[in-house]
Amino acid sequence: MNDSILKLIQQRESTRVPFDPRRPVGKKELRRIMEAARWTPTAHNMQNFEIVVVDDKKVLERIGEIESRISEEFLRENFQQLSFSKEELLKKKVGILGTNFPPSWRDPAKLDEVARESPPQRLSQTIRGSPTLLIVVYDSRKRAPASKGDVLGILSLGCLMENMWLMTESMGIGFQVMSVFSGDAVEKKVKRLLSIPEHMRIAYAVRLGYPLHGPAKYTRVRRDVEGVAHHNRYGARGLD
């Protein structure tokens, strides 16, 4: 059995460290990423996505100047996913470690104050030297047939993300999804800057590049098979 695909899936991670702005992602590598993207499985083969590849330094600088603000909604929903010790995280097997965030983000009594008083941040602080961005957009006028809320169309965009992510992992290129680009205020400015039509919505953006140093060390957790699989009926855990 060839376990190379499984190994690639297990190694895949979000590259949160700064990228080397002087080391571009080559056209050959970008074409391979786009080749993986175009073979994404999508509902009814709608292929309802476009990808704006941005590697012009001046355009990247202008995107980096756009400001965003953190929302109380994000802070409160993020708080629900936190564990407050490594032991708690290892026991829960889901979520993230609270020490990855500022202390004020870990106090539910202060979240509204944090959202209200935190100064806006430029996108350059999120992009962190990336020489290439991928802006993934979709046509808001369409949906997969009889798919309430276009859930199947949104799932297709997730399949697109995974195809590109695994390809970059195989080539040693860093990959990090940036959801801030789909926020209303940021999306409007990015769309205007990149001449994206009004009916096209930004699903997410991705920063690509080569890390300046090794990956940040953090505890990775996943549920085991018995915590995920139900055999023949819900509640019959595992596959035995």
| Residue ranges in the chain modelled with pLDDT below 70 | 1-2
Distance, in Å, from the CA atom of 187 to the CA atom of 52, rounded to the nearest integer, reads 13
For the chain, the domain total comes to: 2
CATH code of residue 142:
3.40.109.10
pLDDT tens profile 159-205: 999 999 999 999 999 999 999 999 999 999 999 999 999 999 999 99
Spatial neighbors of 237 by CB under 8 A, at least 6 apart, are 226, 227, 229, 230, 231
User: Within 10 Å of residue 233's Cβ, how many Cβ atoms?
Assistant: 6
pTM for this structure?
0.93
- Whether residues 34 and 60 share a domain: the answer is yes
Instruction: State the residue range of the domain holding 98.
Output: 70-119
Closest residue by Cα to residue 98 from 78, 117, 116, 118? 78
Half-sphere exposure of 191 (CA within 13 A, CB side): 19
- Whether residues 85 and 191 share a domain: the answer is no
- Asked if residue 216 belongs to a domain, the reply is no
- Whether residues 60 and 21 share a domain: the answer is yes
